[in-house]
Every structure is written in structure tokens, then in C-alpha cells.
Amino acid sequence: MPTITPSLWFDNDLEEAIAYYSSIFPDSAIETIERYNEAGPGTPGEVVAATFTLGGQRFIGINGGPQFPFTEAVSFTVACRDQAEVDYYWDRLVAGGQESQCGWLKDRYGLSWQIVPDRLTELTSDPDPARAAAATKAMLGMRKILIAQLEDAVQGV
């Protein structure tokens, strides 16, 4: 069976980015770092590509230049079991980046992440349409997802 490995195109900060991500996610490691040599085409010693794992998922990264910046068209979802996990990943990934809405953020490298507590999915897919709608409406008004506010929104519905 073939392996699917996401490949990420960074401007020129791949080595810094993968060290940063590896410090956040458990079961992460930098596997290889490839550098330009005398044959070029880049400056000898500069990083051209790397392989790394984050949370057990293997990635490939390249320093390709500014031609293709990250957009929200591709994001990574971090499923969190509780508010402490949401807070942990949100706080670290948004540092130097930008909050969006509904649990989305852009990190300091421009990569988009969705920090999603399991409880959000449970509440927005509740068999009771009124509870699901109340949870969805509450979520739409949030940046970082706050489980207590979701729970408050569905109380008494």
C-alpha cells in the first residue's frame, strides 16, 4: 500500500519551523535535513529539504522561496480531548501568528491549523437539532473553542 506524505513549501525558514513544531507535538522528530552543496543551485550549507514527523505523521518540507505561500485552503486539524489540550496547542501555535475564528489559527510561518476539541464534534452532531444548532451558533462566535461556553450554549435547549 502506498504511503501518503504531506509536503510543505516554506519560504526559507524550514529548519526553524520544524524545530518549532517538533517542540510542540509529542512523538515528533527531525529525520533528515538536506543542505545545498557545491553543486548548487543554492548557497552551500543552506537547507533545501527535510523529512520530519509530528505527532507520528511523517512530512516532507522544502525551502522553495516566497512564490507559494500557505493559505487556508490547506490546514491541519488537531483533535483535542479536553480544554487543557486545546489551550496547549492553541497557545503554542498562535504565538507569533494570528487568530482566526471557529478554532482556526495561522502560525508564525503562515500555516493554518484547526484546534478542535472532541466535545465540539459531539455537540454539533447531537441528534437533537436544537442542541446541535446551539453548539454551532456558539462555536461561530469563538476564536479559540471554549468547551465550557459550548456546554452553556446547549444547557436548557
Instruction: Supply the CATH number for residue 117's domain.
Output: 3.10.180.10
- Alpha helical stretches, state H, the chain: 14-24, 83-94, 118-124, 129-140, 147-154
User: From its phi and psi, is residue 122 left (phi > 0), alpha (psi between -120 and 50) or beta?
Assistant: alpha
Asked if pLDDT for residue 156 goes beyond 90, the answer is: no
pLDDT at 157 (0 to 100): 83
If asked whether residues 104 and 44 sit together in one domain, one would say no
Among 29, 47, 68, which residue terminates a domain? 68
Task: Read off the pLDDT of residues 16-63 as tens digits, 9 standing for 90 and up.
Answer: 999 999 999 999 999 999 999 999 898 999 999 999 999 999 999 999
Structural domain of residue 30, as residue ranges? 1-68
If asked whether residues 75 and 19 sit together in one domain, one would say no
The three grid cell numbers given for residue 42, joined into one nine-digit string: 543554492
pLDDT at 129 (0 to 100): 96
Task: Read off the pLDDT of residues 91-136 as tens digits, 9 standing for 90 and up.
Answer: 999 999 999 999 999 999 999 999 999 999 999 999 999 999 999 9
If asked whether residues 157 and 94 sit together in one domain, one would say yes
Among 68, 96, 121, which residue terminates a domain? 68
